[in-house]
Structure 1
């Protein structure tokens, strides 16, 4: 089967042959393809919902990739949309099965809220991760001790085993940066995140050393936004933008809050946040200056 359908759109075969990012991304891809088929057939969400014994809201959730797919539902929708080619139907059903396979993070479901599970799945599939952090070192770059201190701040009443589970999850996420086909991480850290002491001088020194080590990876770019540049357009909170190579996945802005998160993918929203990160990157220390800044913090901690 070719990589594209006659209309020039990417075939789902490429996602079956080269899956990346686990079920989160595959659900989005499958939902996007089903939405295109529905719109091409001029069928309303209400009519599609009736075909699978559901509602238009269920169709909306399926098309956005926010819920799992039953093979029976996918089969019924394909019939409704006039997809009769057996090979094409088989690809859709195979993708539905893969989209229902738990990701590695599923074993941490006891400490993983659903809104953050989505982020991990998108993070796994991203080709570029751009982030700005205000209070803490980015989670993908934290030492185990630093991560433990941050988790305890956010979950002061959690028992020790639960804290350790959250720390293990964070350490597992970090393997992404050294995996084959690792994404590019471009992180801007507010100077406040480096100056805020957690756990004592020795722990902070170890954290700075890890940042310096990460800065030397070919796929990692680190910048510090120093106090001297004054107010920042992103001062309201941390920002992460995920970019993907897959044509069915738009850039996504991730805004984490205390007990939830926002995911924005409308072009105007994404463009606004990209402009903010571009401005931050232009005003922040260069990567070389950032390495010198970190080395200065390490040297000061040894004094």
Structure 2
């Protein structure tokens, strides 16, 4: 067991240790000190973390704790903590528990009376938000978008009239489909920021109306690669958001004979309105 006097506390502790999301220079000295002096590092991927530890000359042993084994292995680590060991929890990149494993371990530690100490550090959500140019006084992190189109559309409908900035993670192989689903529900005017490869060589932070962003990403395959965050400007009401009862009745009648998208387009043409607003209203209010 290591000499806990080199740690911030002599009480056996679970340390939540953020690691760089790309640039290794972003690790803190405090994180290095903790990783060096704890008895064990609980890691999402021990091979990945092993390379990080080796880079900084850290020889602490690692223990695999990931999505597939956390519920079973968390108690093993709690027992080690109760026996007097100190442990650092890391994920592959960024702050643990933010769309990464660790929830079950932290919960069980707190229930067992084990001291939990969080270290500040790298987090892709905050990094992206700080440079996005979108309102940051109120925001919500929504995690990864659903894998299937229906789930994504349901999520976009859920946040369509939310006034705070919403942040999502997305994978490169689904980014085009997700942007298309977002465009269908939120419309081309909603301001959206794509933040990709943060802190890395090809870092890109690009914001524009959604319709333009979709075309920009489709036209450049480089923007379809790497780790991504999507930041959506909160809902802003306008005079166009008020849909007259007559328009709603027309749309409801047409949807009895036509698909909603076609009915919305025809209604928009009749009343000289935006079809996206009618389509969104129909999705939310018509069976």
Structure-2-length-normalised TM-score: 0.25
Structure with a larger share of its residues in helix: 1
TM, length-normalised to structure 1 = 0.24
Q: Which has the higher strand share?
A: 2
- Bigger Rg, which one: 2
